[in-house]
């Protein structure tokens, strides 16, 4: 009973939709931080500084460094998630068996080298009688 529950949970958790949703939520949260940083660091100081332009500025260099820190955090989060998803996809592909190649539907005429249906008894190009097909 417990093994079956674990197996069902693993199948559920490793479905592409669940993993894609988790990635979307995490990237969305990280991107939300970037948007908040842009507003707090760039737009808000500009709006606050409008009436104070004659008194001299807002400490823009410190704000820029703070924004770059948030941006680096976002990029690192995205890279780590990319690596995790790549590993999960590789693990999922380990259990897949390669599909057998499809059976051929054509063969080559031994007289004129044209492509002919396997079921054909005569070549439609040179009208030669074809030998029986043996796979």
High-pLDDT (> 70) share of the chain, %: 84
The per-residue DSSP string of 35-94 comes to HHHHIIIIIHHHHHHGGGGGG----HHHHHHHHHHHHHHHHHHHHHHHHHHHHHHHHHHH
Q: Among 40, 39, 29, 38, which Cα is nearest to 74's?
A: 29
Q: What is the pLDDT of residues 87-112, one digit of tens each?
A: 888 887 777 777 778 888 899 998 89
pTM beyond 0.95: the answer is no
pLDDT class of 57 with cuts at 50, 70, 90: very low
CA 115 to CA 81: how far, in whole Å?
A: 49
* pLDDT of 16: 67
Q: Which residues contact 108 (CB under 8 A, 6 or more apart)?
A: 114, 115, 116
């Amino acid at each position: 009973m417990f093994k079956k529950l674990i197996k069902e949970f693993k199948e559920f958790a490793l479905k592409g939709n669940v993993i894609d949703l988790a990635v979307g939520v995490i990237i969305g949260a990280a991107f939300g931080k970037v948007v908040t940083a842009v507003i707090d660091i760039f737009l808000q100081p500009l709006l606050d500084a409008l009436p104070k332009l004659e008194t001299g500025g807002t400490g823009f260099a410190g704000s820029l460094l703070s924004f770059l820190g948030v941006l680096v955090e976002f990029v690192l989060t995205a890279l780590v998630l990319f690596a995790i998803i790549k590993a999960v996809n590789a693990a999922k592909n380990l259990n897949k068996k390669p599909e057998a190649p499809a059976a051929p539907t054509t063969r080559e005429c031994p007289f004129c080298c044209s492509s002919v249906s396997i079921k054909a008894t005569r070549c439609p190009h040179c009208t030669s009688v074809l030998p029986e097909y043996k796979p």
